[in-house]
Amino acid sequence: MAKRNRQLTKSKIDRMIKEGRGQGTGKDYKPWILIQDVPSEGRATRGLGWTTGRRHELLSDIERDYCYLLDYSDEISDIREQFPLLPLEETQLIAEKIGVKHPTDPVTGEPIVMTTDFLITFNDKEIARTVKPFTKLEDERTIDKFEIERLYWEQRHVDWGIVTDNDLPDGLVRNIEWVHKEYHNEDVPELGMYAINNLKQILSKSIQDGEVISRACLSCDERLGVDVGTSLALFRHFIARKIWSINMDERILPTLPAKDFYVSSTIRMLEAQGG
């Protein structure tokens, strides 16, 4: 199989702009960099975003984890990853003014379009965030590029900041990851609202009574005659949709009872949604 040509040239940059890269919002946004464009650091795929309804192009584990947190927040209305700092001439001018080398393609030597990891709509206000491992903050070249990025956003009066792995609450991130793919659950439309509400009543009572999560779910499967695993998947779905609440700051272990579990409200009990 031929290797993908990842070298960047001016004509390729022009083509990417014409393709709509870095443009649009919400579901229609197209990231400047796609997973196949660059070698990724760690796992680089995940399910549909809750906030945007599209697949995100996340190039590292830390980007993925930060995106989980953004997705879970009720104050975030849009997430645009791999956002380009265009026009290219602007970041080149900034680099020249502060006396640092502008990033270039290692093969062609052409100046590259810099990107910010996330442009976020937070309470109707745009903020920009770069996520990097804490260990990279001591690298001089990395700091130079951060300064170009900072000044670019400063000129647009957009709040910019750095998020490191030390800033991410691991327990919360792992819990969001555990429930994330069940946000869109195919069993909901297939089972129907009557069966879903019946399952909710049975399962929520067992869990509120202190039953171990996995045991309560298996018992509910057997009682309702559904496939094994259905109730556990829906347990995750209700947590993801915030129909049910649980302590998300401590790791959720199915082999233990749920901590601080409660049904969010009578109304929201009827809001389970499918794909």
Predicted confidence at residue 116, as pLDDT, reads: 98
DSSP SS3 for 157: coil
**10-168 with 172-270: one CATH topology?**
no
Q: How many C-beta atoms lie closer than 10 Å to residue 83's C-beta?
A: 21
pLDDT block averages, 10 residues each, the chain of length 275:
56 92 96 82 67 94 96 97 97 97 91 97 96 92 96 98 96 96 89 92 96 98 95 96 95 96 62 46
Burial of 87 (0-12, 13-18, 19+ CB in 10 A): exposed
Q: What is the pTM of this model?
A: 0.89
Chain CA centroid to CA 238, Å: 19
Residues 6+ apart with CB under 8 A from 125: 159
Domain map (residue ranges) of the chain: 10-168, 172-270
Predicted confidence at residue 11, as pLDDT, reads: 86
Predicted confidence at residue 41, as pLDDT, reads: 54
Predicted confidence at residue 31, as pLDDT, reads: 96
CATH number for the segment(s) 172-270: 1.10.10.10
CATH class assigned to 10-168: alpha beta
